[in-house]
Every structure is written in structure tokens, then in C-alpha cells.
Amino acid sequence: MTATPTPGPGPVAVVTGAGSGIGRAVARQMLAQGYRVALAGRREAQLLDTADGHPDALAVPCDVTVPDDVERLFAAVLHRWGRVDVLFNNAGVFGPAASVDDITLADWEATVAVNLTGSLLCAGAAVRAMKAQSPPGGRIINNGSISAHSPRPRTVAYAVTKHAMTGLTKSIELDGRAFGITCGQIDIGNTATEIMDTIGVGSGALQADGTRKVEPMFPVEDAARAVLMMAGMPPSASVGSVVITAAGMPFIGRG
């Protein structure tokens, strides 16, 4: 039997990778702003921690690399709320520290599976829901990276997937046009999350000249505010690209 969707005043958002980092910050700010939010991620305990008992949060364990998991995620959202207004395609991994000549095939495929294929699967499910709902339409926000513009040394898998994310974003925007579906990409540089510890930004990140440099970071809550700005734009506006970085990080110019 099909359940009657739970009514609510706020738009419905799906946030992948909601158990930590940028995804957690975005999900919490969306809940605070009146969104109804499905929290997706591999670890249920972390999703429940993000939700913190909020009545408009729905925690759905999901591995975005598994098609059946993705379909179950969106089925749960439609069962609960009857529509999808926003997808924040955020789940991702940094992958191995490796150049093209020494990365293993297994590491390459694992990084591509999460960062690119997972984003494709989630976007596909979201678009199908957005086309079928009444009124149709919605917004997809892909989490790219500064690496979509300028990669760090020894990050071939991560850099390639984030460059590919730009092609995915543009393709979704183009193909969704007739259905009121917009798609944009946010490229974030050096917001304070666990991944920054992985690459040593606070203690000394590898630079193009082989040296290491402590780089500035900015609060993850500020990155989340930029995502909410994109999500909250009216359907008449499409935000194609946003770049937000820590002030003074070595990105523009020569360092």
C-alpha cells in the first residue's frame, strides 16, 4: 500500500555524505531553515548524530556506489514526503596520494566509484523523481572542488573525478532544462573538515614545487551557507558555478 506523504511547509532536500564534514553542516543548516532533509551516508550512527532528533530529518543508510541503495534512498524520501526539491550531491573521498604512474587500478576505480559514479546514480534518481512529481522540477547541487580548476600534486584520481563532475553538472543542467530542473556546482577550497587533515593543510600541504606549506582554512559552516544560497534561489534562476575558498589560500596566481 502506498503511504500518504507527510505534509510539511519546507522544501524536501536529499544530502549525501551527511554523516560528517560539509554534508553534515549543510544538512543541519537546511533543517534550521525549515527544509525537510533526507540524510544519506554509509554509517547510520553518524547520520543520527547529524539529525540530532530533528522531526524533519530522515536518516537513510546508503552506499552511493550501489544502485539498489540509491533507489531505496529516493524511494524512502518519496514515501515520506512525496517529492524531491533539492539534491546536494556531496558524498566523496579524497582517494590515494598517487600520480598517474603509481596509482593502482583498484584505488582508481574505488575513487571513481564514489566521486563520479555515485554522483551519477544519485542525480539520475533525483531527476526521475523531479520529472514525475507535481509540480515538476527541482535543483541539483554537485560538490566539486578547487581541484576541478587546479589539482594538487599526487591527486590524479581525485582531480580527474572533480574535473569530470563539471561535465556531469553541465549535462544535467542541459538535459533538465525542459523539465524545470537546474544543476550547479560548488567548488570549495580549504574548508575545515576531516579531509583537510588527511592532506595536511593545517600542518603543511604539498605544493607544486615540492615544498610543504601551512594553508589557511575557513569554517565549514560558511561553506554550508554558500550551498544554502544556491539551494534557496527561485526556480527562475540557475546558479551554474560557485567558487568559495579560504581567504589567502594558494589558488589564484602563483601561490
Answer yes or no: are the C-beta atoms of 58 and 254 closer than 8 Å.
no
Q: Which of 35, 74, 108, 158 is catalytic?
A: 158
Alpha-carbon gap, residue 61 to 45, rounded angstroms: 9
195 and 146 Cβ atoms separated by less than 8 Å: no
Catalytic residue flag (residue 158): yes
The answer to whether 46 and 16 have CB atoms below 8 angstroms apart is no
Give 212's strand partners: 206
Helix boundaries (H) for 105-219: 105-112, 118-132, 156-176, 194-198
For 155, half-sphere exposure in the C-beta direction (CA atoms, 13 angstrom radius) is 22
Cβ neighbors of 74 (< 8 A, separation 6 or more) are: 14, 84, 125, 126, 128, 129
Q: Which residues are catalytic?
A: 158
